[in-house]
A and B are shown apart, each in its own frame.
Chain A
């Protein structure tokens, strides 16, 4: 495959799409599927068959459209001049006949979902640019949308250093939680003279409430493959792994299909695009342990060992999989790469803030009107995300806190809502960007319960290797439960704070180091909620003043 052939393929795909007047796109991501999207697709396909309109109407399943709370979502589009586009929400099997009849005529107002709301208008889509528009199971759709152009152009017109430079210039930082500059990481691997190197895509996504990576893989798997292949070209790797949890069967299926299609088209495998560059990708299924998302544990797991972290340094970039230099990046990080190579690092840098460039995908969940998947430029304020895009808190309740970063993150109160969302500001406020989970809470949530919930998660996900995390999370959970029950005294709270400090500073890996975050941030902003639950120490009076 060369650029011309790719261009021909793209034109063909576009022409085919144009030849059909009407397009019915049904969201087939996991959320809409679980509320019956597959039946809708079957229904529409049958209608087309019955009416013999196959050459005019195209029915296809696409990836996530974002507004998961309104699913199943169906978009009906016309390609004719002045063609209209209508988005329908909460579509049921019985609505298919009415919707099908309306194609090319008056839309069904009853089901229409407004698209001029901030939820859609305030987003800026890079990672999700194709999501909800293309059929993730058809490589032609991806190519028709400009896919694989970056790869073919890089292989035929750019040197690995050129690709690396664009990524460095872009200022892209890792989306897996740490925010480490991707260009620096790539350069470390690229610099190594070792003959064997690996690229790993981290699709373990274990934060409760986060589903960004799943959505990207389900909606646009080729994008991740293209990003990985570009990364492999830049750092000089020939083998890659996608480490994905087995709880994501749909994403795994689509990835497998995508790998097969790309290999058949010569865009993956031996001598890609007839150049000497080869890159093969294998899928490794994880059993769903949260700690296996940590890079050293993930590597151990791929090697067939117990998924346990090991001390860094050595960093995977120096000594990773089978002791070879290994580039490990998150799904979303890699999904940004095709766009960066296509538009240039400077373009990417122009989006977002100076130190946090580009966009970030967030999974909005909790007490918020519009739950679902959004992609926004970095630097946007939390208030804009929650009140405008998210549509505020439903049922006339009031906002209390927003939790970012999952079990490693923190809870931020109202007074921090105007803060820009970027890696460094969130950190100074006591939370983290994390991988992109965002849980909104109203006044009915107890902060002690929230802290206890996340601690329970860390306790049961701790791998048990190091003492502070293994025994410390257990003890912290015990104290939090005691506070929640109303049985704790001020001494317990003090012990909890001391434990937080020890576990944070001495644990081996990020899980233990950040496990106290939810407790420390809620103590920082909602200390009174803890104190209200304390009972007087029955022995306080009897105790000597100094102990």
Chain B
């Protein structure tokens, strides 16, 4: 949907379109994305950077789907449905691609689950199980990253970060603090607080903890949790945005 109002593209009411996902006929509002329509109809599409309540980022590429007539794969989280669209979310090729993307993630940093506070409550771990990724063929990078424990309540372990930028977006879009951002390029990317100052010294952080709650892995955690103890409140965000919308 265009974000600016003009007489021509601000129709008073949103139309309903019909489309087909995995052979199932579904109807949807024309401003919905493939992912949200799929979720509404109980069709699961794996995703990692997407989080309801935040702007779509389109970066993890796990949610890419096939759309008939379009040669490229499209990210379901940021592709709006159109009338007559025919979508395939789980072809053999897509499954193979998703496994490879997960392998790349697991090899990129240190994801040794058994010692992680998020063990058993980790979205990355769940995705690997869901997509049948049971071994990693590419070599591990084994690059050590820092662990920043300077904050009074929270800790960031960059070794577990998948660069989904959920923390960046929630802090900017919901909390309004914009403490987090990304530094560097390529595999050297890293999330940082303020201008790469230790989290505990950040002047913009309000210690609200939203970033910790949205982080899919054990990268952002509450201090004082032991292995497997860090459970996150996944659904506070849709509730928050919904309530704000009502105001």
Contact of B186 among A306, A463, A502 (CB under 8 A): A463
Contact of B73 among A310, A462, A471, A505 (CB under 8 A): A505
Does more than half of chain B's interface fall in helix, strand or loop, or is it mixed? loop
B182 within 8 Å of A (CB atoms): yes
Interface positions of A from 181 to 216, Cβ below 8 Å from B: 193-195
Contacts of A472 in B (CB 8 A): 104
Q: How many residues of A contact B (CB 8 A)?
A: 38
Contact at A460–B185, with CB atoms within 8 Å? yes
Contacts of A464 in B (CB 8 A): 163, 182, 184-189
Identity of the chain A residue whose Cβ is nearest the Cβ of B137 in the assembled complex? A495
Identity of the chain A residue whose Cβ is nearest the Cβ of B141 in the assembled complex? A474
Interface positions of B from 154 to 186, Cβ below 8 Å from A: 162-163, 181-182, 184-186
Interface centre among B72, B73, B78, B80 (most CB of A within 10 A): B78
A462 to B79, CA, bound (A): 23
Contact at B104–A462, with CB atoms within 8 Å? no
Q: Which stretch of B17-25, B54-62, B225-233, B239-247 is in the interface?
A: B54-62
Closest beta carbon of chain A to B119's beta carbon, Å: 22
Contact at B185–A462, with CB atoms within 8 Å? yes
Contacts of B59 in A (CB 8 A): 465-467, 508
Contacts of B105 in A (CB 8 A): 467, 471
| A interface footprint on B38-72 (CB within 8 Å = 1, 0 otherwise) | 00000000000000000010111100100000001
A143 within 8 Å of B (CB atoms): no
Closest beta carbon of chain A to B8's beta carbon, Å: 5
Contact at B108–A471, with CB atoms within 8 Å? yes
B218 within 8 Å of A (CB atoms): no
A472 to B104, CA, bound (A): 7
Contact at A495–B138, with CB atoms within 8 Å? yes
Closest beta carbon of chain A to B33's beta carbon, Å: 11
Contact at A506–B73, with CB atoms within 8 Å? yes
Contacts of A498 in B (CB 8 A): 100
Contact at B104–A318, with CB atoms within 8 Å? no
Interface centre among A195, A311, A466, A471 (most CB of B within 10 A): A471
B144 within 8 Å of A (CB atoms): no
Interface positions of A from 491 to 536, Cβ below 8 Å from B: 495, 498-499, 502, 505-508
A313 to B108, CA, bound (A): 29
Closest beta carbon of chain B to A540's beta carbon, Å: 16
Interface centre among B4, B72, B185, B187 (most CB of A within 10 A): B185
Closest beta carbon of chain A to B46's beta carbon, Å: 12
B216 within 8 Å of A (CB atoms): no
Contact of A318 among B2, B60, B141, B185 (CB under 8 A): B2
Contacts of A324 in B (CB 8 A): 4
Contacts of B64 in A (CB 8 A): 505-506
Identity of the chain A residue whose Cβ is nearest the Cβ of B78 in the assembled complex? A311
Could you list 8 examples of A-B contacts with CB < 8 Å? A193-B6, A194-B6, A311-B79, A319-B2, A464-B187, A466-B61, A502-B100, A506-B97
- By a beta-carbon cutoff of 8 Å, the part of chain A in contact with chain B is 193-195, 289, 306, 310-311, 313-314, 318-319, 323-324, 459-468, 470-475, 478, 495, 498-499, 502, 505-508
Question: Given contacts A466-B60, A475-B139, A508-B58, could you give 18 more A-B pairs where the C-beta distance is less than 8 Å?
Answer: A193-B7, A194-B6, A311-B58, A324-B4, A464-B188, A465-B59, A466-B59, A467-B60, A467-B163, A468-B100, A468-B104, A470-B163, A470-B189, A471-B108, A473-B186, A475-B104, A505-B64, A506-B73
Top 9 nearest A-B pairs (CB, nearest first) are: A464-B189, A471-B104, A311-B58, A462-B186, A506-B61, A502-B100, A471-B108, A311-B78, A193-B8
